[in-house]
Amino acid sequence: MKRTITGKYLLILAVLMLVISSCNKNLRPATVIIVDPVRHYYPVLQGEMMTISFEIENTSSNPLFVQEIQTTCGCLVARNQLPLVVLPHKSTPIHLKFNTIKNTGYVDHFIYLYGNFKDTTCIELEFDTNVVPRADYIRDYEQLWHEQATEAGTLRDFVDGMPGQKGYYTEPTNITPRTRTNEEVQEAIDRVAF
């Protein structure tokens, strides 16, 4: 009885060694299709978060392994767990998050995918957009002063008056007001008239 159990173990061990040794450990290249690898997005407001997704399809019979995703800016972050595995004849999205807070104007970013691609080790993706600053990014002097005055408190409003109700003031002089005659008024009008 003991010989049969040992014989079974030896047979199982031999079959297992054949299976392990017959496995090909080489990573074969995979062909891919990426939907719209170069994109032009509509303008966005500065400070908004933009989500970008590129669909990658494995068109080969070999699994695709994306080992690394590099971007040209720290404001662009890949959200996929690496290594990204795409099974044969399947597709998966590559999700990116773009923070526009530090960009203004035209921006053009590149994304580099590294993996077992056929004929290359790197695939380049590209997108561009215009980041538009918000309308209130430039304030004139009166707006800045009003913000400072508002932050300082309301005591100034009680002493100086409310902003829209101040009217005007004049310099004190020693001239006393006098009444003008109709002739003096007509002479002043004639001097100014063209």
pLDDT attached to residue 165: 39
pLDDT attached to residue 44: 84
Dig out the tokens for 100 from the structure.
Answer: 């526009």
pLDDT attached to residue 6: 75
Top pLDDT among 194 and 132 is at: 132
Sorted by where each begins, the domain ranges of the chain are: 32-136
The answer to which of 8-12, 35-39, 69-73 has the lowest mean pLDDT is 8-12
pLDDT attached to residue 1: 47
* Average pLDDT estimate for 49-72: 92
Residue 95 near residue 125, CB atoms below 8 Å: no
Q: What is the mean pLDDT of the chain?
A: 76
Assign domain 32-136 to its CATH superfamily. Answer: Immunoglobulins (2.60.40.10)
The bridge status of strand 122-132 relative to strand 64-71 is unpaired
DSSP H stretches of helix in 23-161: 141-152, 155-160
Nearest to 64 by CA among 25, 111, 116: 116
- Measured CA to CA, the distance from residue 140 to residue 132 in angstroms comes to 20
Tens digit of pLDDT for each residue in 96-146?
A: 999 888 888 899 999 999 999 998 989 999 888 888 886 765 655 565 566
pLDDT attached to residue 163: 42
Nearest to 41 by CA among 123, 120, 103, 83: 103
pLDDT attached to residue 86: 93
